[in-house]
Amino acid sequence: MFAVLRERDLLVHHPYDSFATSVEAFIDQAARDREVLAIKQTLYRTSGPASPIVRALIRAAATGKQVFALVELKARGDEQANIAWAQALEEAGVHVVYGVVGLKTHAKVTLVVRHEAAGIRRYVHVGTGNYNPRTAQIYEDVGLLSADPELGQDVAELFNFLTGYSRQRRFGRLLVAPVGLRSSIIKLIREEENHPNGRIVLKVNSLVDTEIIDALYHASQSGVDVDLIVRGICCLRPGVPGLSERIRVRSIVGRYLEHSRIFRFGAADKDARYYLGSSDLMPRNLDRRVEAMVPVTDRDLRRRLGEILDVCLDDDVLAWRLCPDGSSERVPTVRGVNAQQRFSELALARAQAGAIPPDA
């Protein structure tokens, strides 16, 4: 997989792209590779000591690699389990820490440091979902695998921040909460107001933050088209005359739980900016959690993210829409577009075309 990542970034869309042969394989290969010097990972929820992720970290530590795991003990409902496998990691020689005082670490990031002929190279994974093989089969999530040097430096600085070795407040590529994610999102929203064909598409689990809601209202009043795909709580009222006429809100409810967070700013694909990561648009995420959103710059991967959003917006089988009065109604079926079925078809087509080599 390292050879592939030196050539290009990879985007994975779970469960349509296998978690076992992508993210799991990345961490397992890092654990076995003699040239890997260090592995660092945040763990919010996983499937316990039997998890292939936990086993890989233990195996890496046993071979003398520097292994660091940030374990979030305050993951609601998983506190006891997290304590148990954190102890198993510590006993195996993994350096386990429990995050920044006063903040819950919700970011989904992995850093692999490898010695190569050209020098030290960093490989990273930034995702929207937990490192949990079980939920990866039923939660819809996306993730970016990359060997981009600037992104690798950012992730290294993020881990320094999490361990208290750095007071890093600015990052080159990453958008990080609580050190500026809200202000960055509001800035991106406002910039769309300067474009004649301004467009914003946000896919999140929840939209509650009043500052971001107000920014979206203002964007709508300034002529920006806004589409929101919100699985859970949405405190914004769409389609209200004089307030949010250009805002539409929908949810996708199907076999898989829609869990990814994807942001798009811009109308034309070639100019649109895309981000993915762990943060929902809620005060708890933006103020009281460590979150990471990563820009996706590769043209083909941006096109794929755009495709994911467009399919969700075209869905008329699983989709519900939010009405101005706060009620929800089914979107009438006209073309029979089922987003989750379509994603399965797209993943199969990519596999048959060899988009990701089978031995990647």
Mind telling me the catalytic residues? Answer: 106
Instruction: List CB contacts of 214: < 8 A, sequence separation 6 or more.
Output: none
Residue 326 CB coordination number (10 Å): 10
Round to the nearest angstrom and report the end-to-end CA distance of the chain.
4
Euclidean distance between CA atoms 29 and 334, whole angstroms: 46
Q: Which of 358, 163, 181, 215 is nearest to 283 (CA)?
A: 181
15 upstream amide cis, omega within 30 of 0: yes
| Long-range contact pairs involving 217-223 (C-beta distance under 8 Å, separation at least 24) | 217/243, 217/244, 217/247, 218/189, 218/190, 218/193, 219/189, 219/190, 219/192, 219/193, 219/246, 220/244, 220/245, 220/246, 220/247, 222/193, 222/198, 223/193, 223/196, 223/198
| Token code pair at residue 322 | 């939010």
- Three-state secondary structure call for residue 90: helix
